[in-house]
């Protein structure tokens, strides 16, 4: 029941909670599959369960429902869960990262939020010090909203060139966020813009196979537009406190 012996943070309501999450995961997988059938390439789609604000039991419940990828938006909160869990999930850092936290970011399997050359340099230094190669995504701000982090679409090619100097980073794709509550045509243009950025990275010689886009309110459109990875919180675990 608890592979790796992860029983910490488990409450007496665990069986109900696990059943609840398992039901949500099953429903979401069906919705992903239906959307995938409406996509051009029928790409494989990885489900990342976003456990931010939820306790370690959410990670265990997701894992027991067959989800092998977990996303957190804050380094410290993620570390507090990593430290008490032994479930062999892949940890994704999906939130904005400050350069002074670059060292901790090397505990993750994929960092989605590389949004500036200075952050890339700090992560490269940290990965080198940890004697590893770190997989990262370039976060692209397709909509151009001032409130969103990410590199502008016009800067993707030059950033891609700079990233070749980061020998300890492997740039495996692009991450984007659509505007909150956007109409479907806007979502489609943002998501297809991210796909263009991914193609630019590939053209620049990066192994850019990942397209991280789609959250609880827009993941089906994202999958139709080519997402290979969706980041889902609310639809799996309910609303955050």
Q: Rule CB under 6 A: which residues touch ligand PLP? A: 50, 52, 73, 94-95, 177, 215-217, 231-235
Q: Which is nearer to ligand PLP, 85 or 235 (CB)?
A: 235
Give me the least distance between CB of 225 and ligand PLP, in Å please.
16
Rounded to 5 degrees, φ, ψ at 42 are 50, 45
Taking the complex as a whole, how short is the minimal distance between the CB of residue 131 and ligand PLP, in angstroms? 28
CB of 187 to ligand PLP, least distance (A): 13
- Rounded to a whole number of angstroms, the minimum distance from the CB of residue 241 to ligand PLP is 12
Q: How far is the CB of 97 from ligand PLP (least distance, A)?
A: 11
> Which residue lies nearer to ligand PLP by CB, 118 or 181?
181
Closer CB to ligand PLP, residue 86 or residue 217?
A: 217
* Distance from C-alpha of 57 to C-alpha of 47, rounded to nearest angstrom: 18
If the CB atoms of residues 192 and 234 are measured against ligand PLP, the closer one turns out to be: 234
Q: Are 223 and 30 in contact (CB under 8 A)?
A: no
Q: What are the CA-CA distances from residue 184 to residues 39, 188, 222 (Å)? A: 15, 6, 10
SS3 label, residue 101: helix
> b or e along 80-108 (b: 16 or more beta carbons within 10 Å of the residue's beta carbon)?
ebbeebebebebbbbbebebebbbbbbeb
Give me Rg for the CA atoms of the chain: 17
DSSP secondary structure letter of residue 37: T
- Please give the torsion angle defined by the CA atoms of residues 217, 220, 221 and 223, in that order, rounded to the nearest 10 degrees: 130
Please state the closest distance from residue 72 (CB atom) to ligand PLP, in A: 9
Nearer to ligand PLP, 8 or 53 (CB): 53
Q: Point out the residue whose Cβ comes nearest to ligand PLP.
A: 233
Contact, 136 vs 171, CB < 8 A?
yes
With a CB cutoff of 8 Å and minimum separation 6, the contacts of 196 are 153
Considering the complex, state which of residue 51 and residue 198 has its C-beta at the smaller distance from ligand PLP.
51
């Amino acid at each position: 029941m608890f592979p790796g012996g992860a029983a910490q943070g488990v409450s007496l309501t665990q069986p109900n909670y696990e059943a609840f999450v398992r039901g949500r995961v099953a429903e979401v997988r069906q919705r992903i599959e239906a959307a995938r059938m409406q996509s051009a390439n029928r790409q494989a789609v990885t489900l990342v369960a976003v456990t931010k604000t939820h306790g370690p039991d959410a990670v265990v419940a997701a894992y027991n429902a067959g989800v092998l990828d977990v996303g957190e938006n804050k380094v410290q909160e993620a570390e507090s869960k990593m430290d008490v869990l032994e479930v062999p999930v892949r940890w994704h850092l999906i939130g904005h990262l400050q350069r002074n936290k670059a060292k901790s970011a090397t505990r993750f399997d994929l960092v989605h939020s590389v949004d500036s050359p200075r952050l890339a340099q700090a992560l490269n230094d940290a990965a080198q010090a940890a004697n590893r190669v770190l997989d990262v995504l370039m976060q692209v701000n397709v909509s151009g909203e001032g409130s969103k982090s990410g590199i502008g679409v016009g800067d993707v090619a030059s950033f891609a060139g700079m990233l070749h100097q980061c020998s300890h980073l492997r740039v495996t794709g692009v991450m984007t966020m659509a505007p909150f509550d956007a109409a479907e045509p806007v979502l489609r243009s943002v998501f297809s813009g991210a796909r263009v950025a991914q193609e630019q990275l590939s053209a620049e010689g990066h192994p850019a196979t990942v397209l991280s886009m789609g959250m609880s309110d827009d993941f089906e459109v994202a999958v139709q537009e080519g997402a290979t990875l969706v980041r889902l919180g609310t639809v799996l675990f309910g609303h955050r406190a």
